[in-house]
A and B are shown apart, each in its own frame.
Chain A
């Protein structure tokens, strides 16, 4: 008899603890969120999507779930180092060699050739291009991160990369 009471009590306690933990995990998912935020703070926020994810934050979420940490050319080796320190993962030391190096340039629209098609507008991850249909577009240099995502979007190749921040 005693053993049955003990088993029931232990079972009830386990069920209660499980329910509490499950509730806590759903209500305050801070641990994961904090990790994603910490990774996101290290990423350079160029939003170039070369990592295969649509932007820096999506990549940070993917890294927190185990994606490789060597897919960010703008961050370079310094980023790989700081990520492996943060996550305690030492499987990579350099950026994936298949990815092209980041050039740190700005997009520039040649206004004499722009046809006002507005195709580059949605391509820009930080809304740095202003323009409308049948209007010449331009890049706000202050907002441009140099991600190069607008280059393939342009049907007349009027966007080129220029040197230098002011």
Chain B
């Protein structure tokens, strides 16, 4: 295993809290009801099923940017435009899988299979894997980065998946590499990861995959920072890894690609960590997509929805009462009682750890005053929402949550401005049309007067 020679700016060393990394993964029992969301990354999916249809596991039930499949056999219950409720019949029957694709099929066929199995980025981004690889092909990407870093504390789902299914993940990586033109393959991993030995063993027998130990600092696994570690190029603001010829794939995504191509199996379940300081026995559980969060918490003897974050304990957002696991949920974190928030002492720790070099202290100052113009000027939109500032803050100020709220406010304001500009254009167009109509009528009137009344003269 090679040690990375490049590094990223900022970041910090944190307690890992990953003692449960050595436990084997478990399977969650089927719940009474699965709730599948009919939107993906903000765009709506079209439902392909009507109410009270019986479906088998693996049947496509919604289509759009990505495809959504029924995780198990059962009856589709309510579709109220936003959700599909699937009531499992308990038999867990599955539709016939797609035929396995061998090593020599065309790239189009591979991409098509990845799309029709509904594979998305499982590291949390959720971007369609087929679209991403298509763009990487078009941009002639030369580096395939497999992201096994999983830098967030308490989360071990990728690590356990990688240890238990090392060969399957590597097969998925091989399939993805076939889509690119002989790329350099780098598997980036934290040296403390328990799958390192197995990986080292597996990668010696195949050539072409470089195992790279990244700096053990948070957030080394963030896409932009990882790209810098691997390629040595710092991504400019707004740039994606593809702009420096790299494409970053999460290990869970690579596994899903393997299942799609070699097993013909749509993405209907995933391994997630149920973890965090608020739970006695953190563990990793295979759950079908759509698993209700409260059910899963009851199964794992965890907290209530009020104390749960969808995702890791640092970057996860609070769960709603009817939240369900979706394709991008990599962990459920039960957080402890909130820490006492003290006033900002302007110590500058947040500035020092920000991996994007943002002036977090100044951002917080203006954010408290809701000065939207100032935070926009301080590049709030370049924030990668890693939460390193939260971890560093000695006053326990929830900076990330504040910045997220501000981003929503800024986006709403920009939206309102666009709408106002649109209404202004339409109003002014109408005004011009009406004044033109009036002028034309005036012209006609003048013509009528000038023409006189010849029929009266006779």
Q: Which of the residues B422, B427, B429 comes within 8 Å of A56, measured between beta carbons?
A: B427
- Is A110 part of the contact surface with B, judged by Cβ < 8 Å? no
- Is B424 part of the contact surface with A, judged by Cβ < 8 Å? yes
**By the criterion CB–CB under 8 Å, are A125 and B420 in contact?**
no
CA distance A44 to B419 in the complex (A): 9
Q: Which of A113-142 contact B (CB under 8 A)?
A: 125-128
List of B residues within 8 angstroms of A46 by Cβ: 423
CA distance A40 to B421 in the complex (A): 10
CA distance A145 to B421 in the complex (A): 11
- Is A84 part of the contact surface with B, judged by Cβ < 8 Å? no
- Is B431 part of the contact surface with A, judged by Cβ < 8 Å? yes
**By the criterion CB–CB under 8 Å, are B426 and A40 in contact?**
no
CA distance A44 to B418 in the complex (A): 11
Q: How close is B424's CB to chain A, nearest CB, in angstroms? A: 5
Nearest B residue to A44, CB-CB = B420
- Is A157 part of the contact surface with B, judged by Cβ < 8 Å? no
Q: Most A CB atoms within 10 A — which of B421, B424, B430?
A: B424
Q: How close is A125's CB to chain B, nearest CB, in angstroms? A: 5
**By the criterion CB–CB under 8 Å, are A57 and B428 in contact?**
yes
Binary per-residue interface labels of chain B (106-132) against chain A in the complex, 1 for a CB within 8 Å, 0 otherwise: 000000000000000000000000000
**By the criterion CB–CB under 8 Å, are A47 and B420 in contact?**
no
Binary per-residue interface labels of chain B (3-29) against chain A in the complex, 1 for a CB within 8 Å, 0 otherwise: 000000000000000000000000000
List of B residues within 8 angstroms of A128 by Cβ: 426
List of B residues within 8 angstroms of A93 by Cβ: none
Q: How close is B399's CB to chain A, nearest CB, in angstroms? A: 26
CA distance A143 to B424 in the complex (A): 11
Q: How close is A17's CB to chain B, nearest CB, in angstroms? A: 36
**By the criterion CB–CB under 8 Å, are B427 and A55 in contact?**
yes
**By the criterion CB–CB under 8 Å, are B431 and A55 in contact?**
yes
List of B residues within 8 angstroms of A40 by Cβ: 424
Mostly, the B contact residues are helix
Binary per-residue interface labels of chain B (403-447) against chain A in the complex, 1 for a CB within 8 Å, 0 otherwise: 000000000000010011111101111110000000000000000
**By the criterion CB–CB under 8 Å, are A143 and B428 in contact?**
no
**By the criterion CB–CB under 8 Å, are B427 and A57 in contact?**
yes
**By the criterion CB–CB under 8 Å, are A57 and B424 in contact?**
yes
CA distance A43 to B421 in the complex (A): 10
**By the criterion CB–CB under 8 Å, are B430 and A45 in contact?**
no
Q: Which of B218-254 contact A (CB under 8 A)?
A: none
- Known contacts: A44-B420, A45-B420, A45-B421. The answer to whether A143 contacts B427 by CB under 8 A is no
List of B residues within 8 angstroms of A125 by Cβ: 427, 430
**By the criterion CB–CB under 8 Å, are A143 and B431 in contact?**
no
Q: How close is B419's CB to chain A, nearest CB, in angstroms? A: 8
**By the criterion CB–CB under 8 Å, are A126 and B420 in contact?**
no
List of A residues within 8 angstroms of B429 by Cβ: 127
Q: How close is B80's CB to chain A, nearest CB, in angstroms? A: 15
Binary per-residue interface labels of chain A (55-68) against chain B in the complex, 1 for a CB within 8 Å, 0 otherwise: 11100000000000
List of A residues within 8 angstroms of B428 by Cβ: 57
Nearest B residue to A58, CB-CB = B431
List of B residues within 8 angstroms of A143 by Cβ: 422-423, 426
List of B residues within 8 angstroms of A43 by Cβ: 420
CA distance A161 to B135 in the complex (A): 44
CA distance A139 to B426 in the complex (A): 15
Q: How close is A159's CB to chain B, nearest CB, in angstroms? A: 18
List of A residues within 8 angstroms of B431 by Cβ: 55, 57
Q: How close is A24's CB to chain B, nearest CB, in angstroms? A: 27
**By the criterion CB–CB under 8 Å, are A126 and B430 in contact?**
yes
CA distance A127 to B427 in the complex (A): 8
Q: Which of A83-105 contact B (CB under 8 A)?
A: none
Q: Which of A18-58 contact B (CB under 8 A)?
A: 40, 43-47, 55-57
**By the criterion CB–CB under 8 Å, are A56 and B424 in contact?**
yes
CA distance A55 to B429 in the complex (A): 12
Q: How close is A39's CB to chain B, nearest CB, in angstroms? A: 12
CA distance A55 to B420 in the complex (A): 13
Q: Which of B238-288 contact A (CB under 8 A)?
A: none
List of B residues within 8 angstroms of A56 by Cβ: 424, 427
Q: Most B CB atoms within 10 A — which of A43, A55, A128?
A: A55
Q: How close is A96's CB to chain B, nearest CB, in angstroms? A: 21
Nearest B residue to A143, CB-CB = B426
Q: How close is B73's CB to chain A, nearest CB, in angstroms? A: 34
CA distance A47 to B416 in the complex (A): 14
CA distance A128 to B420 in the complex (A): 14
CA distance A125 to B429 in the complex (A): 10
List of A residues within 8 angstroms of B427 by Cβ: 45, 47, 55-57, 125-126
Q: With contacts A44-B420, A56-B424, A125-B427 known, what are 7 further pairs, Cβ within 8 A? A: A40-B424, A45-B419, A45-B424, A56-B427, A57-B431, A125-B430, A143-B426
| Chain B residues close to A by CB (< 8 Å) | 416, 419-424, 426-431
Cβ-closest 6 pairs across A and B: A45-B420, A126-B426, A45-B423, A45-B424, A47-B427, A145-B423
| Chain A residues close to B by CB (< 8 Å) | 40, 43-47, 55-57, 125-128, 143, 145
A-B contact pairs, 20 of them (CB 8 A): A40-B424, A44-B420, A45-B419, A45-B424, A47-B423, A47-B427, A55-B427, A55-B431, A56-B424, A56-B427, A57-B424, A57-B431, A126-B426, A126-B427, A127-B429, A127-B430, A128-B426, A143-B422, A143-B426, A145-B423
